[in-house]
Homo-oligomer: A and B are copies of this chain.
């Protein structure tokens, strides 16, 4: 490289999530201030690499984005290794490789969830210098103890549960709240425990409606005036209804208790990140720049046992981080009388 400045690209792909801009800022400021690199923002995820849509990220452009939700670079769900027209695969990876070179990039930071990290891993195998930064509100990326976006999401869910308590109490009702989490129940578990949920249902723990109904009837028998049921959207069920609507209907049927449901939806993934997520995203972003400086490519930034570190990208792909059977917070919940439906 000689006297030439290193030149890196950053993109965000997949669903949006609070903290992406903080991570972009973390990568960019560290790259510019500490390592004297040039930084290109790539617009709309991998699409921006296919169509060569980029924007120079100067220090000034990176100022003031720490607190913004969403992503200033835009995002898309394009999966270059799966793109095809009919049965004919399109050579998107080839185009990306060519454009990566034409843009003069020395490295590429990919901020995204499970799908994005899988693509990042495949691009690394194609010879690109890739560093992955994990993000998802679902907190289910394999290899890292936590992802940014999760703290914001579960705090929003907790705030909603706080509000439901007063209505539930005034009307002596069962309130069911469905929170996000397709495969993993982390948001339900954490918001349920921090919001004082009485029943918490997550995909990782088999539940029966009889067991849920029995918990609620027992609470009714000992004169608890109301109950809060927190449900992950990905809960398995024999119904096309949303998880929240299904569980509420079954509770009404089995217990006769007055029951209402709330589906929290997209409000969980938008808006300004919590301070915790800003710190975490900043740490992840800064470490990605450091990994590039050390030429440790083909890696993903991760949090392990309280320290920021990295793991090989090819270990991440195709896996998912679920709540384990011996999860300590679940055990604490059980010991305090929370019902998990099993």
A-to-B contact residues, CB < 8 Å: 15-16, 18, 25-26, 29-30, 33-34, 59, 63-64, 66-71, 74-75, 145, 151, 154-156, 158, 160, 162-167, 169-172, 175, 190-191, 193-196, 224, 260-267, 269-272, 274-276, 278-279, 282-283, 286, 289-290, 305-308, 328-329, 332, 334-337
Q: Give CA–CA (A63, B162) in the complex, Å.
A: 13
In whole Å, how far is A143's beta carbon from the nearest beta carbon of chain B? 14
Given contacts A166-B16, A262-B265, A337-B33, contact A158 B275 (CB under 8 A): yes
Q: Give CA–CA (A167, B16) in the complex, Å.
A: 6
Q: Give CA–CA (A25, B193) in the complex, Å.
A: 12
Please name 13 pairs of A and B residues whose Cβ atoms are closer than 8 Å in the assembled complex, sorted by A. A16-B170, A18-B166, A34-B335, A70-B169, A145-B306, A154-B275, A155-B274, A156-B163, A163-B271, A194-B278, A289-B335, A305-B306, A307-B328
Closest B residue by C-beta to A244: B265
In whole Å, how far is A222's beta carbon from the nearest beta carbon of chain B? 9
Give the dominant DSSP class at A's interface: helix
Rank and list the top 4 A-B pairs by shortest CB-CB distance, nearest first.
A69-B166, A70-B166, A163-B270, A16-B170
In whole Å, how far is A133's beta carbon from the nearest beta carbon of chain B? 14
Given contacts A29-B336, A278-B194, contact A263 B266 (CB under 8 A): no
Q: Are A170 and B271 in contact (CB under 8 A)?
A: no
| Chain B hits for A170, CB < 8 A | 16, 70-71, 74-75
Closest B residue by C-beta to A290: B335
Given contacts A66-B196, A69-B163, A266-B260, contact A275 B336 (CB under 8 A): no
Q: A154-B275, A167-B269 are in contact. List 16 more A-B contacts (CB 8 A).
A: A30-B335, A34-B335, A70-B165, A70-B167, A155-B274, A162-B270, A163-B266, A163-B269, A164-B267, A165-B270, A194-B278, A260-B266, A264-B267, A279-B329, A286-B336, A305-B305
